[in-house]
Structure 1
Amino acid sequence: MNRYPSIADHGLIGDLQTTALIATDGTIDWFCSPRFDSPSIFASLLDHSRGGHFSAHPHDAVFETKQLYIPDTAVLVTRFLTENGVGELIDFMPVSSEAPSTRHRLFRVLRCVRGAMDFDVEIAPRFDYGRQQHELKVADHGVTYTAGNTRMSLSLIREPDDERLARWQETSDGDLHFSLSLVEGHMRGVVLETGSEAPPQDVPVATAQRLFDDTVSYWQDWISRSTYTGRWREEIDRSAITLKLLTYSPSGGLVAAPSAGLPEQLGGERNWDYRYTWVRDASFSINTLVRLGFLDEAAAFGRWLRDRVVEPLDSDTGPLNIMYRIDGDPDLLEEIIEGWEGYRGSYPARIGNGAAEQLQLDIYGEAMDAIWNAHLAGIEFGQAGWQAICDLLDWLADNWDQPEEGIWETRGGRKNFTYGRLMCWVAFDRAIRLAAAYGRPAPVARWTVERDAIYTQIMEKGWDPTRRAFVQQYGEPVLDASLLKMPQLGFIAPRDPMWLDTLAAMETELVSDSLVYRYDPSASPDGLRGSEGTFSLCTFLYVDALARSGQLAKARITFEKMLSYANHLGLYSEEIALTGEQIGNFPQAFTHLALIDAAITLNDRLDEAAARGRH
C-alpha cells in the first residue's frame, strides 16, 4: 500500500453531518466526527504515522482494486481481485436526522463474491489530530475507545450462530488488528459508531442489509427529484450527490470541501482548511440547485444565508464574514498541527482558516444574486430579511470603493480588485430589482447612483486599453479568471467586442490545453511562496463563457477534456497539476457547482443551435 495515495484515489461517503474519505486500497484516511469541522479521528492523509487510519483489505500480499458507487447513491464499493477470489468492501453511513447529532455510524461491510478471501482489518484512531490519547477496551462483542469526552465503539456484523470470527490483536499504542475469513456468499463486517454511550454489540447481517437498502433508497429517491434531462446527466447527478454530501443538514450550510490541509502545490505551503461554509459558495449553490430543481436544498441554504444577513457581525471588515463554521459561528482560528509532516511533505498542515476575517467585497454581490435567484424560484425573505438587506446595502454604499483582499483570499495586502467591484455592482443591481419585485420601501435612488458609479469605474479603470482586456486590479495588466463571470452576471453582453477581446487574452495567457489558471502569481504576487495548478472552477467558468459567446465547438471540447480529469468516481479536487494529477482539497464543492452550471449552459446553447438549424 502507498504511504500517501493520490488525492484522486479516494471516494466519499457521509450522512449529511460528516463524511469519510476512503482510498482505493480500502483505507479510511480522513474522518472527523461528529461534524465536518470537528477534530479528526482518522487523518493519515496528512500524516501517515501520526494521523490514524482504518484499513480493510485482503490478506494476500498482491491484489488489484476497483472502486465504484452503487448507481445514483453515495454508497461506495471497493472491489478486491486476488488469485483466490473476489471480495468487496461496501462503505456507507445511514443518513442522520436533521437535528445535530453526536451519534454517527459508519458501516464497513465485507463480503466474498467469488472463491474465498481472508480480510485484514486495522483500526488505529488518533483523536483530536493525534493530540488526545485514548484507552481501548476489548470485549467479545466489540471494542470501545475513550479519548477525553469522546467515545467510539466498534461492533461486528455477523450471524447469531457464528463462532468467533475475529481474532483480536491489541497493540501497545491502542491499535487493533483482526482478520475475517470468508467464502463465496458470506457477508460480515464492522460498524464504527461515534457519540453513543451504548456498549458495542453484534449487528445481525440482516440488520446491516436493511440499513444498506435504506441508504441506497434514500439517495436514489433524492437524485430522482432532479428536473435536469439534458446531456451529461450522469456527471451532473454525481456532482449533485457530492454537493448534498457536503451539506450539513441541521443548518443547511455547505462546506467548501470535507478535507483540510491538502496542498495546492506538492511540498508547498498553500494548504488550507476548507471544512467551513463560505458565503460565496453557499450563494452559488442556491443558484445551481434551483437550476436542477432542488428547491428544498436551495431554501435551506437560503435560510443559512438569511441568518448571516439578519444577524450581522460587528466587524471592521463589514457586516458579513467571508466564511463561517457550519452552524454560523464566525470563530475559525487558524493553527498548525505541530509535528505533522503534511500530505507528501506539504508542510504546514493547517486547521482553522485565518482568511475568515478578510475584507472581500465580492461576497455582498454573490449573496444578493443568490437572494434574487431564490426570489425567482419562489423562495422569499420576510420583512426582517428585507430590512437586513437594506442595512447591508447601506454599509456597502459607504464602503465599496476601497482596496480589499479579493476572491482568491490572497495574503499580499489589499488591492482594488476588479472582481470585487463587479460583485458590488451586482449587489446594487439585484437589490434594485428586488425592491421593484416586492414593492418594498428602499433607497433605490441612492442604490442606482452607486450601481452606475461602479459600472463607470470598472469601464474606466478595470479595462486595460493596452491589453484590450478587463484586468485583475486597477492599474495592473494582470488577467484574472474570476472575470469570466462578467457575462454570466449580466454586466456585459457575451458577444460585446470588449468581452470577446478579454476572452481571447485569457485564452492566450491563462489557458493551458483547455485548463485555466486563476491568475499568474509571478505577475501578481499574492503573499505566498510557490505556485499552483490550474483551477478547476475556472475551467468550467471558461466553458460557460465560451458557450455564452457562441463558441460552442470550443466550449464542448473544453468541457469534454475537463471531464477526462475527473477521478474514477467522477469527483474533482480544487486544482489540477501540470502532470494531470488532482491537487488541493477534495472533493471541492465549488468545482462541482461550476461543472453543473457549465453543463446546463452548454446544453441549452447546443439545443438552441440545433433548433435554429432545424428552422
Structure 2
Amino acid sequence: MTAIEDLAVIGDLQTAALVDAEGSVVWLCLPRFDSPACFAALLDTDAAGHWRIAPADGGRCTRRRYRGDTLVLETEWETPDGTVRVVDHMPLRGRYPDVVRIVEGVTGEVAVRGELAVRFDYGRVVPWVRRVGDRWQALAGPDALWLSTPAPLEGRDRTTVSEFTVRAGERVPFVLTWTPGHHDAPPEVDAERALGETVAAWERWVADGRAVGGRWAGAVTRSLVTLRALTHAPTGGIVAAVTTSLPEQPGGPRNWDYRYSWLRDSTYTLQALLAAGHTEEAQAWRRWLLRAVAGDPADLQIMYGVDGTRRLPEAELDWLAGWEGSRPVRTGNAAAAQLQLDVVGEVLDGLHLARAAGLGAPEEAWDLQCALLDHLEGQWQQPDSGLWEQRGEPRHFVHSKVMAWVAFDRMVRGAREHGLPGPVEHWARVRDTIRAEVLEHGVHDGHLVQSYGSTELDAALLLVPRVGFLPADDPRVVATVEAVQRDLTRDGLVLRYRPDSSGDGLPGTEGVFLACSFWLVDALHGAGRRDEAEALFERLLGCASDLGLLSEEWDPDAGRQLGNTPQAFSHFALVVTAVQLDEGRHARSDHPVGAARAGAPRLP
C-alpha cells in the first residue's frame, strides 16, 4: 500500500492526480475533484485502476522533485543500464483535462514498461478499450479516456501495456485526455509545448505574488503552490484535500471525504493568499464564499461542493478494501448537515478581513451578513457538533461560543469602522453576554475547556488569542497553552482532542493534527516564547514529505503521515505561521499578515 508521504500531486486547477514513488498514478478523479475516480489503486490494489510508467524492473524511484516553483513533477530512476526520468504534469485546463507524461532518457539506455488500467467509478467499471485511428480509447457510459503516444501499445489482461527502450536524449510522450463518453475524439495535445506552457504558467503565478516567509520562504512557496493546486479555478472554491477516506487511524473507521470546500477555512485562506500578494485569488475565494452562503441563513452549511452544491450525500463504497484496510471508503460527507455554530463566526471574520484588506466595497453583501447574524442570535445558546464535526450528542463547545462572539464583534466593528447600518449597540450587548457566559462556564482550574461542564481540552482553544477573544498573555490563555502542552500532545505535537472523549461511538484513536500544532506555534509566539515556537515550527516542517507536502495528521510512533492529502488546512497554517515568525509579530485573524505595516507591534 502506498505511503501517504510518498504521494506527489499534479493538477490543472480543476482536479488533481496523485503519483507514487514507483511512478504510478494511483488516484485521479475526472473531470473535477469530486468526480468518481478512474484510478483508485490508492484505496485498494492496482486492480482498482492505475497508470504506471517506470523501468521494466520496477521499484522505488531514486529521487524526485518539482521543477522549480511549479507543479511539474520529475521522477528519476538510476538503473544498471542508465538513468531514466518521467516528467508528469497536467496542463491548465482547456476544453478537456489532460495528464501528460514524458519519458526522458538521461544516460545509457533503459527498458521501460507502462501499464494503464482504467477503472471508472472508483474501480468498479472496466471500460471497453479499442483503437480509434492512432489513439486508444477507454469507454464506459458517461466517461471516455483517450491515450496518445508513439510508443507501442497492446492489451493484456484488461490492461494496456507499453514496453520500449529509451536512450539518452530521447523523449517519449504519453497524453491521456478525458472527454464525456458521447463526445468525439479530443484535439491532439503537443506534449512538449504543453510542458513549456505549464512551467511558464506556474512561474508567472508565483512571480505575481511576493516572496514571504524569510528563511522559510521555500516551504511557504511550496505550500502556496499546493494551495493553488487545490483551487477550482472556474469558481474560486478550494477543496480541503484531493482524496477521500485516507484514515485518521490505519485500519479504523474514521475515514472521510475531503474533496469539498469548508467555510471555516475562509480566514486562513484569505490570510495566506493576501500574505503572498495573491489578491486575485483571494477575491475569487471571497466571491465563492458569498455565493455559497447566499440564501436563507437557516440553510447555512459548514461545507459545499466546489461549485456551491449543497447536497453531499454520504455513501460507502464496499467494493474497495480501503487504505491499509481502513473501511468504510466513503464519498460525500454527512457532516454537511450538522449544526456547527462556529461557522457563522468564521464567515463573518473572513468577510471582515476582506474589508480590512480592501477586497471589495464595504457595503457589498452587508444585508446577507446581517441576516446571518440575526439567525445566529437565535441559535448561539444551543449545543452543536463543534469544529471537529463530532458525531456524538451535541454539546456547548467553547470554541463554538467564542466564534459566536467573533461574529457579533466583527459586525459591531464593521458598522462602526465603515459606517454600515445595523443595531450596533444591541449587537455589542449580545457580544458581551456571550463573552461573560464563556468565561463563567468554559473555564476550569484556570484554563479554558472543550465544552461547558467538562474538564477535557480541545486544540481549538489555542485559537482564542488569534480571534481576539482574549489576549495571548491573559492568564487563562497562558494556562490553556500549558494544559494543552501537558495533556493534549503526543511527542510534543497536538491532538485535536482525546478521541475517547468525542462521544461519536467510533473506536480507535488518531494521529496528531498538523494544523493544531501550527496553532500551538502561534500561541507560543504570541506569548513571547519565540524559541519554543521556532523549534516546534521546524519540527513540523520535518513532517512534510520530500516534496514539501503535508497531509492532515502525523503518526509520531510510526513517523508517517495520516489522513487526507495534500491538506489545505495544514498548508494554510504553515504559511500564516511562517510569515508571523518571520515578521516577529502575532497577527490576529481580523488583520492581514505579511508585509508588516508601519507601526505594527513586533514581538521580542
| TM-score relative to the length of structure 2 | 0.94
Secondary structure of residue in 2 paired with 1:473: coil
Match of 2:307 in 1: 327
In the alignment, does 2:427 pair up with 1:443? no
Query: Following the alignment from structure 1 to structure 2, what is the Cα–Cα distance between the partners of residues 228 and 95?
Result: 23
- C-alpha contact (below 8 Å) 1:287/1:374 kept by paired residues: no
- C-alpha contact (below 8 Å) 1:64/1:82 kept by paired residues: no
Query: Following the alignment from structure 2 to structure 1, what is the Cα–Cα distance between the partners of residues 64 and 509?
Result: 32
Match of 1:161 in 2: none
Query: Following the alignment from structure 1 to structure 2, what is the Cα–Cα distance between the partners of residues 463 and 73?
Result: 47
Match of 1:30 in 2: 27
In the alignment, does 2:126 pair up with 1:142? no
Correspondence 1:217-256 to 2 at 5 A: 217-229=200-212, 230-256=214-240
2:458 to 475, 480, 483: 480
Query: Following the alignment from structure 2 to structure 1, what is the Cα–Cα distance between the partners of residues 60 and 387?
Result: 45
Cα distance per residue 1:330-380 (max 9 Å; x no partner): 010000002211011111111111111000011111111110111111112
- C-alpha contact (below 8 Å) 1:50/1:340 kept by paired residues: no
1:376 to 356, 373, 378: 356
| Cα drift, residue 495 of structure 1 | 1.0
Query: Following the alignment from structure 1 to structure 2, what is the Cα–Cα distance between the partners of residues 223 and 234?
Result: 12
Match of 2:339 in 1: 359
Cα distance per residue 1:375-413 (max 9 Å; x no partner): 111112575611111111110111111100000011111
Query: Following the alignment from structure 1 to structure 2, what is the Cα–Cα distance between the partners of residues 596 and 33?
Result: 29
Relative to structure 1, the CA distance from residue 7 to residue 171 in structure 2 (aligned partners, 3 Å threshold; closer, same or farther) is same
Secondary structure of residue in 2 paired with 1:136: strand
Match of 1:5 in 2: 2
Letter in 2 for 1:141: D
In the alignment, does 2:150 pair up with 1:170? no
Relative to structure 1, the CA distance from residue 63 to residue 493 in structure 2 (aligned partners, 3 Å threshold; closer, same or farther) is closer
Query: Following the alignment from structure 2 to structure 1, what is the Cα–Cα distance between the partners of residues 188 and 276?
Result: 42
In the alignment, does 2:18 pair up with 1:21? yes
Secondary structure of residue in 2 paired with 1:281: helix
| Cα drift, residue 320 of structure 1 | 1.1
In the alignment, does 2:592 pair up with 1:602? no
In the alignment, does 2:112 pair up with 1:119? yes
Letter in 2 for 1:52: G
| Cα drift, residue 597 of structure 1 | 1.0
Identity in percent = 39
Cα distance per residue 1:280-338 (max 9 Å; x no partner): 1234211221122111111001001111232236xxxx331001111001010000002
Cα distance per residue 1:184-229 (max 9 Å; x no partner): 00001210000163437875xxx32221111111111111222244
Relative to structure 1, the CA distance from residue 336 to residue 79 in structure 2 (aligned partners, 3 Å threshold; closer, same or farther) is same
- C-alpha contact (below 8 Å) 1:19/1:245 kept by paired residues: yes
Match of 2:71 in 1: 74
1:471 to 449, 453, 473: 449
Query: Following the alignment from structure 1 to structure 2, what is the Cα–Cα distance between the partners of residues 364 and 63?
Result: 47
Secondary structure of residue in 2 paired with 1:486: helix
Relative to structure 1, the CA distance from residue 606 to residue 362 in structure 2 (aligned partners, 3 Å threshold; closer, same or farther) is closer
2:512 to 534, 540, 545: 534
Secondary structure of residue in 1 paired with 2:374: helix
| Cα drift, residue 132 of structure 1 | 3.0
Query: Following the alignment from structure 2 to structure 1, what is the Cα–Cα distance between the partners of residues 369 and 45?
Result: 47
Query: Following the alignment from structure 1 to structure 2, what is the Cα–Cα distance between the partners of residues 61 and 274?
Result: 31
Secondary structure of residue in 1 paired with 2:3: coil
Letter in 2 for 1:87: V
Secondary structure of residue in 2 paired with 1:114: strand
Match of 2:592 in 1: none
Query: Following the alignment from structure 1 to structure 2, what is the Cα–Cα distance between the partners of residues 400 and 140?
Result: 63
Bigger shift: 566-575 or 283-292?
283-292
| Cα drift, residue 171 of structure 1 | 2.9
| Cα drift, residue 260 of structure 1 | 0.5
2:38 to 41, 44, 48: 41
| Cα drift, residue 95 of structure 1 | 0.9
Cα distance per residue 1:26-73 (max 9 Å; x no partner): 100000011000011001001115421111110125664311100100
Query: Following the alignment from structure 2 to structure 1, what is the Cα–Cα distance between the partners of residues 602 and 331?
Result: 54
| Cα drift, residue 172 of structure 1 | 4.6
Name the Cα RMSD after superposition.
2.0
Relative to structure 1, the CA distance from residue 612 to residue 367 in structure 2 (aligned partners, 3 Å threshold; closer, same or farther) is closer
- C-alpha contact (below 8 Å) 1:514/1:562 kept by paired residues: no
| Cα drift, residue 491 of structure 1 | 0.9
Relative to structure 1, the CA distance from residue 507 to residue 199 in structure 2 (aligned partners, 3 Å threshold; closer, same or farther) is same
Match of 2:296 in 1: 312
Secondary structure of residue in 2 paired with 1:449: helix
| Cα drift, residue 527 of structure 1 | 2.8
Match of 2:84 in 1: 87
Match of 1:296 in 2: 280
2:560 to 563, 566, 581: 581
In the alignment, does 2:570 pair up with 1:591? yes
Relative to structure 1, the CA distance from residue 351 to residue 63 in structure 2 (aligned partners, 3 Å threshold; closer, same or farther) is closer
In the alignment, does 2:372 pair up with 1:386? no
Match of 1:492 in 2: 470
The unaligned stretches of length 5 or more in structure 1 are 159-164
Cα distance per residue 1:150-175 (max 9 Å; x no partner): 1110001x4xxxxxx31x221353x2
In the alignment, does 2:196 pair up with 1:199? no
Bigger shift: 184-193 or 123-132?
123-132
- C-alpha contact (below 8 Å) 1:278/1:322 kept by paired residues: yes
Figure out how many residues of one structure are paired with residues of the other and give that number. 588
- C-alpha contact (below 8 Å) 1:309/1:389 kept by paired residues: no
| Cα drift, residue 514 of structure 1 | 2.8
Bigger shift: 433-442 or 567-576?
433-442
Relative to structure 1, the CA distance from residue 345 to residue 614 in structure 2 (aligned partners, 3 Å threshold; closer, same or farther) is closer
Query: Following the alignment from structure 1 to structure 2, what is the Cα–Cα distance between the partners of residues 428 and 64?
Result: 54
Secondary structure of residue in 2 paired with 1:86: strand
Relative to structure 1, the CA distance from residue 612 to residue 529 in structure 2 (aligned partners, 3 Å threshold; closer, same or farther) is closer
Query: Following the alignment from structure 1 to structure 2, what is the Cα–Cα distance between the partners of residues 419 and 44?
Result: 38
Match of 2:375 in 1: 395
The unaligned stretches of length 5 or more in structure 2 are 587-595
| TM-score relative to the length of structure 1 | 0.92
In the alignment, does 2:408 pair up with 1:428? yes
1:105 to 98, 111, 130: 98
